[in-house]
Amino acid sequence: MGIRKGRLALTAGTALVLTAATVATVLTVSAQTASAATSTFTPAADTYVQADTASTNYGTSVQITVDSSPQRQMFLRFTVSGVSGTVTSAKLRLRHISGNDGSVAGGTFRAMSNTSWSETSTTWNNKPALDGVSLGSLGSVVANGWYEVDVTSYVTGNGSFSIGASSTNSDGAYYDTRESGADSPQLVVTTGTTPSPSPSTPPSGDPVLVGAGDIADSGSGDTATAALLDGISGTVFTTGDNVYTNGTASEFSSYYNPTWGRHKARTRPAPGNHDYNTSGATGYYNYFGSVAGPSGQGYYSYDLGNWHVVSLNSNISMSAGSAQETWLRNDLAASGKPCTIAYWHHPLFTSGANHAPSTSTRPLYQALYDYNADVVVWGHNHQYERFAPMNPSGAADSSRGMRSFVAGMGGAGFYGFGTIAPNSQARNSDTWGVLKFTLHANTYDWQFVPQSGKTYNDTGTGTCH
């Protein structure tokens, strides 16, 4: 993936990262989503052991760790109960601690036959064996990052399950323990069938870009949409208002990090007005770091396959000739990609009753239009809306117009619709979800993926200009 502003690091691992008619087909459906249920369990016990302190128990430590120098292994045990039906997914989630720079090797995970070991008496001398099937390995891990291991092959129903990890690398990895509250390890078990069409990575292997805006608060909406991201590979985008109400460091830690934060390593965000309720949006910039673009600017671009992707900042000047608009035009002129998608917070076109169209964003839309961009995505209004391709004045334009979406259904409370704007083609205001783009060489597919138990869907295909 090429980066045009800043240096972005992707976390890799075999278990996780931890993507002449404008319209070919358009389909808006309300198909029944198959029944599924998700349960989250925290460990009944976790600890680690260390070879050079072979008789010491670390059951009261606030971290569990893997390392080869000194040799360290870690163990977790979960008690799964109340689960009915076929287990279709089981994911182990771990958060790397904040007080460590991270590691190039997050550990290799195995099932264990011993499910009766004691957290408070296990030592290197009497440790249980890592004797079960291999469950996968994690590559590089960073501080505060959430990471995931697929353990579906092992966790098949109710019962007690032990999972152990070790490392052959001397760069140790450290994870929060069950005593860490919202940061403790999790075992997320899903039963039932998955929606159709499946939101997983397409057989083509083309890049996927998936996300939403208006995400995390004290409610449960962001938990529902983060669970959707668990099953969708690719790059995650946000269209602002990442956390409520004021974008503080504490809110990012308490609300965003336990849900969407586990996908932080693959997230390319944009800021919203609530992120800027903290002066200078310092909570936002400090949380996301360099991937959010330079602090105070917050605009940047990157490439996915044949697509150029631009994240912009609608909370600072966007006027013609401004630093951001000038940068955007130079960036688009330098791009060699045939297809372009852009996203920011405030919508130029919307039917939302709470927030009127943000006409101050028009110079950004105009620059994208001038360089034949294809898709624009916004947030701000807490709902989903899709518009037909339009020019900067809002007139339908099937030859050069950009298709636009309001994707403000990431988890915050819903807003209603007012007067329906011209060229609005699809709307929903009662379903949280994520908007998924599959980016082909010269076309793209879009899909609204609804929260579990909801039926609204909107899918279609478009062609690059």
Domain of 411: which CATH number?
Answer: 3.60.21.10
Whether 208 maps to a domain, the answer reads yes
**Listed residues 139, 165, 192: the one ending a domain:** 192
Q: Would you say residue 98 has pLDDT above 90?
A: no
Whether 4 maps to a domain, the answer reads no
Same domain, 138 and 30: no
Report angle CA 357, 358, 363 to the nearest 5 degrees: 125
Strands 159-166 and 71-80: antiparallel
Question: Which residues on adjacent β-strands are paired with residue 426?
Answer: 386
Residue 337: its pLDDT value, please?
96
Number of domains in the chain: 2
Average pLDDT for residues 97-119, to the nearest whole number?
89
pTM of the model: 0.61
Average pLDDT for residues 151-173, to the nearest whole number?
93
Rounded CA-CA distance 204/201 in Å is: 8
Q: How confident is the model at residue 36 (pLDDT cuts 50, 70, 90)?
A: low
| Strands (E) located in 256-334 | 267-268, 300-304, 307-311
Same domain, 188 and 205: no
Residue 114: its pLDDT value, please?
96
Same domain, 230 and 370: yes
| Chain segment 325-367, per-residue pLDDT in tens | 999 999 999 999 999 999 999 999 999 999 999 999 999 999 9
Same domain, 64 and 28: no
Give the least confident one: 122-126, 310-314, 453-457: 453-457
**Listed residues 165, 192, 219: the one ending a domain:** 192
Whether 11 maps to a domain, the answer reads no
| 326: preceding bond cis by omega (within 30 degrees) | no
Q: How confident is the model at residue 235 (pLDDT cuts 50, 70, 90)?
A: very high
Same domain, 300 and 372: yes
Rounded CA-CA distance 261/282 in Å is: 17
Residue 146: its pLDDT value, please?
79
Whether 9 maps to a domain, the answer reads no
Give the least confident one: 19-33, 318-332, 333-347, 376-390: 19-33
Q: How far is CA 182 from CA 195, 228, 253, in A?
A: 29, 19, 9
Rounded CA-CA distance 89/43 in Å is: 18
Same domain, 30 and 72: no
Average pLDDT for residues 244-267, to the nearest whole number?
96
| Chain segment 39-68, per-residue pLDDT in tens | 889 999 999 999 999 999 999 999 999 999
| Strands (E) located in 178-295 | 186-192, 208-212, 235-238, 267-268
Same domain, 118 and 215: no
User: Which CATH number belongs to the domain containing residue 97 in this structure?
Assistant: 2.60.120.1200
Whether 150 maps to a domain, the answer reads yes
Average pLDDT for residues 106-116, to the nearest whole number?
94
Q: Would you say residue 452 has pLDDT above 60?
A: yes
Whether 202 maps to a domain, the answer reads yes
Residue 130: its pLDDT value, please?
95
Q: Would you say residue 26 has pLDDT above 50?
A: no
Whether 10 maps to a domain, the answer reads no
Structural domain span for residue 240: 23-34+194-463
Rounded CA-CA distance 390/451 in Å is: 29
Residue 5: its pLDDT value, please?
34
Rounded CA-CA distance 372/384 in Å is: 24
Q: Which region holds residue 454: left if phi is over 0, alpha if psi is between -120 and 50, else beta? A: beta
Rounded CA-CA distance 108/136 in Å is: 6
Sign of CA dihedral 218, 454, 428, 385: positive
Average pLDDT for residues 63-74, to the nearest whole number?
96
Q: How confident is the model at residue 193 (pLDDT cuts 50, 70, 90)?
A: low
Rounded CA-CA distance 256/91 in Å is: 19
Q: Would you say residue 240 has pLDDT above 70?
A: yes
Same domain, 327 and 455: yes
Mean pLDDT computed over every residue of the chain: 88
Q: Would you say residue 150 has pLDDT above 50?
A: yes
Residue 18: its pLDDT value, please?
31
**Listed residues 192, 220, 236: the one ending a domain:** 192
The answer for residues whose C-beta is within 8 angstroms of residue 40's C-beta and 6 or more apart is: 186, 187, 188, 189
Average pLDDT for residues 99-121, to the nearest whole number?
90
Same domain, 317 and 215: yes
Same domain, 368 and 309: yes
Q: Would you say residue 396 has pLDDT above 90?
A: yes
Rounded CA-CA distance 207/62 in Å is: 38
Q: Would you say residue 10 has pLDDT above 80?
A: no
Q: Would you say residue 301 has pLDDT above 50?
A: yes
Same domain, 80 and 213: no
Q: Would you say residue 222 has pLDDT above 90?
A: yes
Nearest to residue 298, comparing CAs of 321, 319, 328, 320? 328
State the burial class of residue 351 (Cβ atoms within 10 Å of its Cβ: 0-12, 13-18, 19+): buried
Q: Would you say residue 205 has pLDDT above 60?
A: yes
Strands 87-95 and 146-150: antiparallel
Same domain, 306 and 160: no
| Chain segment 174-189, per-residue pLDDT in tens | 999 999 888 899 998 9
Whether 305 maps to a domain, the answer reads yes
